[in-house]
Amino acid sequence: MLRITELKLPLDHSENQLKSAIIQRLGINAGQLKSHSIFRRGYDARKRDSITLIYTLDVELENEAVVLARFRDDPHIAPTPDTRYHPVAQAPQNLATRPVVIGFGPCGLFAGLLLAEMGFRPIILERGKPVRERTKDTFGLWRQREFNPESNVQFGEGGAGTFSDGKLHTQIKDPHHRGRKVLTEFVKAGAPTEILYLSKPHIGTFRLVSMIEEMRGTIEALGGEIRFQSRVEDILIENGAVRGVALANGETIDADHIVIAAGHSARDTFKMLYERGVYIEPKPFSIGFRIEHPQSLIDRCRFGSYAGHPLLGAADYKLVHHCKNGRSVYSFCMCPGGTVVAATSEPGQVVTNGMSQYSRNERNANSGIVVGITPDDYPGYPLAGIDLQRELEKRAFELGGGTYDAPGQLVGDFLAGRPSTGFGSVQPSYTPGVHLGDLSKALPAYAIEAIREALPAFDRKIPGFAMQDAVLTGVETRTSSPIRIKRNGDYQSLNTRGLYPAGEGAGYAGGIMSAAIDGIKAAEAVALNIIGKRK
């Protein structure tokens, strides 16, 4: 099999044109091409009126060696590499103790799956409920203002990414094919096969729910165990090494290997780890608002006359602006054709985020417009970033009227410095509701100043971005973890042996894919340690 990269075709090409392009590129006759499949398909929309598709293709040929020899010096034609993932270990027959994984988000799910596949029969502890029950609780906040602190957008089976856009792209280099492993497992669990080849794949919320249930079944069938409503309240440490965990229900579980994949909202868990002396340091994160525009505005700007083309789907964007006050403002977690969601995990607080369905056909585009901040903005002690998040989220709750409505403002009014009193052409999607007013008190002055400078700059890239009626809702504070639980090269905590900090909460991931990949790495490290090899 040979791999051809960077093969470009116009957006509206036929299957026959693709075949012809392969034949032409390789200088072969039609009979020599036995089969072809798409490994990757992206697009180049820099020229809106001539959008091209860019393919990476695997082709099976008669006389492959001869063709390959002809293209010896061509970097875009080479033998197809083996992209299968290979497990690093196999559990011994007499496994002394089972590894424990805390959290069943993407990181814990893949740590658990890999440990189970290698025969280590992990015990996975998740504070929230199974995904169907969790969905009801999450809708309880969105529809009835009833908040459950243990079962919500952040906590429960599937973790934070369950009610999301399910964007799966990552910039991570993948020499061991862990990313491919993640996508392959998702497809086995019911994701559309296109996620294997699209350059910007996404799944959407409803599919994720059934996929997660399917993957839970796989882990259990392999001897793993998943316990819901099992919040880890304490880590038992003796002589600098973990010995087990204590659950909120009083039960203790012995374990010498514990993966902590608790996500970025496990504030009580971080506090417990800090009090137990586990080494934690503060880390930069970002704060800001969600912004909503008509999706049609983004589609037109990105795709021109191709707006709405089925191969392109709803358009996304990625924006960044470096401000005069030294801050950077950027778009975060852009959700084409999606909704803004209430994403708090603590009572009396308001946090925004975004999600979508697979179809991405809601009327609004939304993204976080956030300002990067660093520990210099929240000095003091390692958990000070969490204190800042809480302060801003409580303030947002109050500015929203104390009913879980999000405080909001129209972009035109925000830029002009006047409170908003009524919506225009953009209806916000956040539920339970948006309480219009003045957002300038919702964030520190430097962040407001930076966002006020960035929006007109973004408007120069996407005309209409700073339109009067676009809606801002606040606050976006859970962009990434405000802490890092430092680990060594063997993935164990700097000062607590047997503790494997992993995923977004520990400061090693930012998104579904990177969290899942980090879960695989943590599982490999645990497995190698148990069988006596170093990672």
Q: Which residues bind ligand FAD (CB under 6 A)?
A: 102-108, 125-128, 153-156, 159-161, 163-167, 231-232, 261-263, 266, 269, 333, 341, 343, 353-355, 503-505, 509-513, 515
Give the separation between CA 365 and CA 363, rounded to whole angstroms: 7
Shortest distance (Å) from residue 400 CB to ligand FAD:
18
Shortest distance (Å) from residue 163 CB to ligand FAD:
5
Q: Which C-beta is closer to ligand FAD: that of 77 or that of 255?
A: 255
Shortest distance (Å) from residue 105 CB to ligand FAD:
2
Shortest distance (Å) from residue 270 CB to ligand FAD:
9
Q: Which C-beta is closer to ligand FAD: that of 353 or that of 431?
A: 353
Shortest distance (Å) from residue 125 CB to ligand FAD:
5
Shortest distance (Å) from residue 94 CB to ligand FAD:
28
Q: Which C-beta is closer to ligand FAD: that of 116 or that of 160?
A: 160
Task: List CB contacts of 303: < 8 A, sequence separation 6 or more.
Answer: 45, 48, 51, 309, 312, 315
CA triple 28-30-33, angle to 5 deg: 80
Task: Return the sign of the alpha-carbon dihedral for residues 384, 387, 388, 389.
Answer: positive
Task: Return the sign of the alpha-carbon dihedral for residues 492, 497, 500, 501.
Answer: negative
Question: Tokens standing for 468?
Answer: 């009067």
Which H helix or E strand runs over 54?
Answer: strand 52-61
Using the structure block, give the residue that is written with the tokens 């035109």: 412
What are the residues facing 425 on neighbouring strands? none
Exposure string (b/e) for 199-225, b if CB count within 10 Å is 16 or more? eebbbbbebbbebbbebbebbeebbbe
Question: Tokens standing for 86?
Answer: 């290979």
Q: Which C-beta is closer to ligand FAD: that of 28 or that of 342?
A: 342
Q: Which C-beta is closer to ligand FAD: that of 184 or that of 477?
A: 477
Q: Which C-beta is closer to ligand FAD: that of 118 or that of 355?
A: 355
Q: Which C-beta is closer to ligand FAD: that of 408 or that of 510?
A: 510
Q: Which C-beta is closer to ligand FAD: that of 442 or that of 517?
A: 517
Give the separation between CA 145 and CA 378, rounded to whole angstroms: 31
Shortest distance (Å) from residue 267 CB to ligand FAD:
9
List helix spans (H) across 13-153: 15-26, 64-70, 106-117, 131-144
Residue 380 burial class via C-beta count within 10 angstroms: exposed 0-12, middle 13-18, buried 19 and up: exposed
Shortest distance (Å) from residue 57 CB to ligand FAD:
27
